[in-house]
Structure 1
Amino acid sequence: MTPKLSELELFVAVAETQSFSVAAERKGIAPSVVSRTIKNLEHSLQITLFNRTTRQVALTLEGRWLLEKSYTILDEHQNIQHYFSCAHEEPIGELTVDAATPFAIHAIAPLLPKLQSKYPKLRVNLVSNESNTELIGRNIDLAIRIGHLKDSSIRARKMGETQRGLYASPHYLEQFGVPELIEDLASHQCLGFMAFEHLNQWPLVDCSGKRFIVTNPIATSNNGETLKQMAINHFGIVCLSQFTAEHEVREGRLIPVLQPLWIRENIPVNAVYYSEQHQSIRLRAFIDFLVENLNWS
């Protein structure tokens, strides 16, 4: 038996929230309706979609497969609706966007005047955050995530890729010397992250094939913008996304370090959201605008 679109929508809501009651609240229906719909769906497909406990529900292997297929089916259905009924509508209202501070400052904020000129009735609330905020709990419509996604229950659209590099101020390099080999970093002041230790693995590979890891930083922060200011003020060498440092590099306040040795990481930048938001005109207009206007060079 072919599942109905309404059944797939409820299935996706339960999969994303991992809760029948929260899914019911999102949909504005009784939990018993959600539970009955999922049971009927499992019965018609003759499979178990969720492993249930007293605290939460988790997708089975078959459930994860159906979730991926449901996204595709619902996408196409919404695309058809959008094409015929929303293609010429203007985005109106508020959109709350969560992004890491460096990306919010250097990638999104400079584009807001152009966005406002194109969509004067769209108001963007830009929230800077260093952690992966829970979208529903914080009333976030859209989040920008840099790096590979771990949560398969949220929707994502890849907007581009970024790279990381090493930077230091001219004064620091005059004082401590310009490193020419990876091994030279052992005698330099390296700046590191304290909350996101994977970012202390720099885009360098030594002759044995091992990545360079900052193990004893001179100072740490949970914020890339703060680390950049440390580097600008001659405190050490920092590893940053290129969009974070490009302005200071153009001004000469930061200089790339060991640039010929950098490896390309191709770090994905995704716009993530929950499935109900996919049909929002505001959301689609904003993501399309970013994709068209962000400079990934």
Structure 2
Amino acid sequence: MRLWTFFASLTAFFTATTAFAQEVNQDLEVVGAPTDAGMGFQTAATELASDLQWLDGMLMVILTAIVIGVVGLLAAVVIFYNRHRNPTPATFTHNSPLEIAWTIVPILILVFIGAFSLPILFKQQEIPEADITIKVTGYQWFWGYEYVDHGFYFDSYMIGHPATLTAEDGDDVQPYVLSAGMEEKLVRAGYSRDEWLLATDTAVVVPVGKTVVMQVTGGDVIHSWTIPAFGVKQDGIPGRLAELWFSADREGIYFGQCSELCGVSHAYMPITVKVVSEEAYAEWLENAKENPDWQL
């Protein structure tokens, strides 16, 4: 597969083409993407992501209360038990009620946190029956996707990767360089300048509301497949097959990045997922199955 990819990249460079092999006949909003100077999470598009964001908010309240409490106690000690106010220090060494309290209270806090966090963890790890199964393999530095129930496979490169350059792009378009020509290339693919370093030449396409199981592995070193808006992340380890699942409840385009340092071009290994209507997915699936370049 790697050898095939190498020759395909050379062919793409010397062959003029304006169409990407994978087009979805539906206008989609970019929903899951990072924003400049942004804080917090991306918009949750799955139940898993909503649960994680709620858990994070709840933990933040608890941690804030603990920090305020500890800082308050330290301030009280500094103010009321300094040498000037309390010149004669106490001589006792034990306070059983206090020791019992500072043992039991943290236990209760941890039990409370576990009562909410463990069900969310189990929901992530218990893989449901899949409506769609996709095997994703991380390579240095691109992703390979196999729709195992339908018998086709495609590679996904960041727009701007050498494998995505064609003779039509012109000499001013250089790999990994955002120029006017590269911006035009993004527009032709249906993206904008804002999606530079995020958009790929081919995207994972799934229908809204369906359970998608991703089987994740690595073809050379460890990679990590993640979509923040879905609340999923899974390392792809060579020789092992791990799984994650999601069910997107909103149509749109979602972006992720390889989240495991995997080599010199780790930063140029984005992920694009398009969540579409069932009708648009069925149309895309028929076209994809008929694409001779994608046949296994």
TM bracket, shorter-chain basis = under 0.3
Larger radius of gyration: 2
Answer 1 or 2: higher relative contact order, Cα 8 Å, separation at least 6. 2
Q: Which has the higher helix share?
A: 1
TM-score, normalised via structure 2 length: 0.23
